[in-house]
Amino acid sequence: MSAVTARDVSRIYTQGDVKVTALDKVSLTVETGEFVALAGPSGSGKTTLLNLIGGLDTPDGGEVTVNGMAFKTMSSSDLAELRLSQIGFVFQSYNLIPVLTAEENVEYILRLQGVGKKERKDRARAILDDVGLEDKYDRKPSQLSGGQQQRVAVARALVSNPTIILADEPTANLDSKTGDSLLQMMREMNEKHKVTFIFSTHDAMVMEAAKRIVSMKDGKIAEDKTK
């Protein structure tokens, strides 16, 4: 069973009186354990496709299936449960909660899942250790560098043991050394935990790290190349 299948998905936005086709009947299959970059310039459709795969947006046509479950047949509560239990998100802007420590930010999703206090703490600390933040448990986002904040975001995405991580421009706000370090860490997580990673990016460094590059242009897939 494939991790992700998108069949003929389209997404059209209305801006004033103008209709903009963000995705035009795109089909894509991603197998479990892949490390894939959706690459292309702004407006190519890569972030829109990532949002559809994550169930954050709804296609105007076509169908998205994750781990054999078709979104169009699911209720909104079932879709929310799928996102909570099986999909981890890493956003360009980190989306950390400013008043919580690194440990509490990572624990947050486990709290939503109803995991007990001791297990939450143990799992949060173990994953923070994995991403190289073993001495930063008690730091709030404002006390961390951009790279450290992004590592917390990756740890939060991984702590619930999702099968898929979706990362939207994860290196956009990072210098090249920090970005490279983060990518190496995600490659290790991919290989260690067999988590499927799908990035949207126009960063050459991410494309270099990816094992498969799906190049997008004008809402369509222009090229699909596995290294």
Q: Where are the domains of the chain?
A: 4-226
pLDDT of residue 152: 92
- CA 50 to CA 188: how far, in whole Å? 22
- CA 223 to CA 40: how far, in whole Å? 10
What pLDDT, in 10s, does the model give residues 89-118?
888 777 899 999 999 999 998 998 899 999
- CA 214 to CA 216: how far, in whole Å? 6
- Across the range 131-139, mean pLDDT stands at 91
Just give the CATH number of 4-226: 3.40.50.300
Q: CA nearest 163: which of 127, 187, 194?
A: 194
pLDDT of residue 200: 93
Confirm whether pTM is higher than 0.75: yes
What pLDDT, in 10s, does the model give residues 165-180?
999 888 877 788 878 8
- CA 34 to CA 25: how far, in whole Å? 23
pLDDT of residue 35: 95
Q: What is the dihedral of CA 107, 88, 206, 104, to 10 degrees?
A: -10
Between 10-24, 72-86, 104-118, 168-182, the lowest mean confidence (pLDDT) is in 168-182
**Given a cut of 90, is residue 144 above it in pLDDT?**
yes
pLDDT of residue 181: 82
pLDDT of residue 164: 94
